[in-house]
Amino acid sequence: MFVFAKDLHRYYVNNIYVKYNGHYARFNSTVASWDLFKLYSVNFLIVVFSLGIASPVVVVRTLRYLIAHSELVGIYNDAQAYQSQNAYATYEYAEAAGSLDLSKF
């Protein structure tokens, strides 16, 4: 089961690409099956012994592990990156509100 979880996570993470100025960068996952087993086992014990109160702790532990074992490989300059919303800065609030008007139906 943990081998499948590792393979599934690696498949998703390894197929994320970032394109910037004609160059591609991709993510690489270094998640291991034994580490997932230890993480899930301890997370299960945390949830059981806290009667579910520590569920947010389990989520944070899992996300920290997954992020710590993911890396960006390739040429990528995050100092020059910009939000895609800058391209839509001229979109008026009235146009957006008009498109959400349900009174026409």
How confident is the prediction along the chain (105 residues), in pLDDT tens digits per residue? 778 888 888 898 888 888 777 778 888 999 999 999 999 999 999 999 999 999 999 999 999 999 999 988 887 766 666 555 555 555 555 555 555 555 555
In a domain? residue 84: no
Mutual angle of helices 55-68 and 33-49, in 10-degree steps = 170
Which strands form 23-29's sheet, in the order they lie side by side?
17-20, 23-29, 70-74
In a domain? residue 82: no
Whether residue 79 contacts residue 18, with contact meaning beta carbons closer than 8 Å, is answered with no
Please name every residue paired with 24 in a beta bridge, in sequence order, or none if there are none: 19
In a domain? residue 40: yes
In a domain? residue 27: yes
In a domain? residue 88: no
Query: Distance between CA 75 and CA 18 in Å, rounded?
Result: 10
Domain that holds residue 20: 2-72
pLDDT at 76: 72
In a domain? residue 104: no
pTM: 0.66
In a domain? residue 8: yes
Q: Number of structural domains, the chain? A: 1
Query: Distance between CA 85 and CA 71 in Å, rounded?
Result: 25
In a domain? residue 79: no
